[in-house]
Amino acid sequence: MESIGRNDPCWCGSGKKYKKCHLDRENQTPVTLNEIEQVRKKGGSWQKCLHPEAGSKCDKVVRAHSVQRQGGLSRIAREGHVYQLEHRFPKILQNKGTPSLGLVGIKEATTFTGMCGFHDNETFMPIESGAVSFTPEQCFLFAYRSLCKEVYAKQAIRGNTELFRELDKGQPKEVQAAIQRIATWRNTGYAEGVAELETVKSEYDRILLESNGYVDLRYYAVELDRTPEIMCSGFGSPETDFDGNRIQHLADLEPIQNISFSLISNVEHVSNEDAGAGVFAWLGEQPAMECLMRSFHGIPDAEKPAALVRYVFGGHENFAISPEWYDARTAEEQQAIKQRILSGASWEYPQHDFTDDGHRTVDWQVKAVHISKSLEACLVGS
Ligand SMILES: [Zn+2]
Ligand SMILES: [Zn+2]
């Protein structure tokens, strides 16, 4: 760093001259918490209806829940709050970019402003109006909702990257370097991710409108005997299976293979009978995802709940946790959870890990498994 000339491009990659960027940054006035909060709100204020028929029918964009609130988050909340991955900038800065957990109210937790009230209601009615029975339509809608949340998250990131780069004012050099690395990771991830995701979403949009019997849908739904203390709605590209074998390389030029995952409460509204479910789903031929599900399918039913827990923390950012459950974990168990979150959600080097660490932190029982016909054929003979 010392050898950079005043007029050279800055080391941080901003494209500005060093003298106009990081020269003497450790002595500049730090960005205030108030300014930081403004940045976060600005990013979070991205609002748009992502429904493919968005237009004249749209009403106001709402805070749509990616995990249901009534009968879902409300069942695992403590005084109206759940743990979520911390995304408030002051906390991220405090932790130097290391992911941590924070309490969030259930009106806010897992929400996104990516759909108008009309389309949110109309689209997700079949998975919001009572216990689901894992029809192809319902499994598709879980996947679609996870995908919309992911599109929203990428868009919200775009809104605040420039100001994110200013967060290192007045900080020592090593913190500057860390923050700029995070910013670059966010930028790159955004540019690559959004292009991929738009292609994927157009395919999902087509199926949403066509309702052709969902022939392209592959799903694997695990019915649980109770509401899981951890809920999740995620859309991602795992690189390894449950045995730790590599199933795809994100750096390859091959198209990235995607899968959605929802871990939900499935309480019957009338009888109030407790239940839950984990639903994996994707569209079309995706051999890497078949590998992933083959490794999951091979896990004995009694061990599948623990594998679902590992899958949430090892590869997802959009989850909510029962504070009562988490606080009752031993220090060692909490450490293991944090370690997995850290590797999966790291700003810099996400590294998925779903392999068994021996921890058994939930009492859920598998009641039944529902597999799409097309996927069933791939699992047989494995
Ligand atoms: Zn710079
Ligand atoms: Zn709309």
Higher pLDDT, 348 or 206: 206
C-alpha 7 – ligand 1 centre gap (Å): 12
Q: What pLDDT shows up at residue 351?
A: 77
Q: Which residue has the tokens 């009403």?
A: 59
Of 175-179, 230-234, 274-278, the poorest mean pLDDT is in 175-179
Alpha carbon distance 243, 356 (integer Å): 8
Residue among 311, 306, 304, 319 nearest 264 (CA): 319
Buried b (16+ CB within 10 A) or exposed e, 98-116: ebebebbebeebbbbbbbb
User: Which token pair is 280?
Assistant: 């994996």
54-76 average pLDDT score: 89
User: Which token pair is 367?
Assistant: 């009641």
Alpha carbon distance 308, 261 (integer Å): 10
pLDDT at 124 over 90: yes
User: Which token pair is 97?
Assistant: 């970019």
C-alpha 57 – ligand 2 centre gap (Å): 6
Alpha carbon distance 222, 304 (integer Å): 9
pLDDT category at 122 given cuts 50, 70, 90 is: very high
Alpha carbon distance 287, 108 (integer Å): 36
C-alpha 252 – ligand 2 centre gap (Å): 36
Q: What pLDDT shows up at residue 346?
A: 57
pLDDT at 363 over 80: yes
The type of residue at 118 is F
pLDDT category at 79 given cuts 50, 70, 90 is: very high
C-alpha 181 – ligand 1 centre gap (Å): 11
C-alpha 159 – ligand 1 centre gap (Å): 19
| Cα-based torsion angle of the residue sequence 349, 352, 353, 354 in order, rounded to the nearest 10 degrees | 160
Return the ligand number nearest the Cα of 116.
2
Percentage of the chain beyond pLDDT 70 is 91
Q: Which residues surround ligand 1, an ion (CB under 5 A)?
A: 10, 12, 14, 21-22
C-alpha 98 – ligand 1 centre gap (Å): 22
Q: What pLDDT shows up at residue 154?
A: 81
Query: pTM to 2 decimals?
Result: 0.85
C-alpha 177 – ligand 1 centre gap (Å): 9
29-53 average pLDDT score: 78
Alpha carbon distance 191, 195 (integer Å): 7
Q: Which residues surround ligand 2, an ion (CB under 5 A)?
A: 49, 51, 54, 58, 116, 119
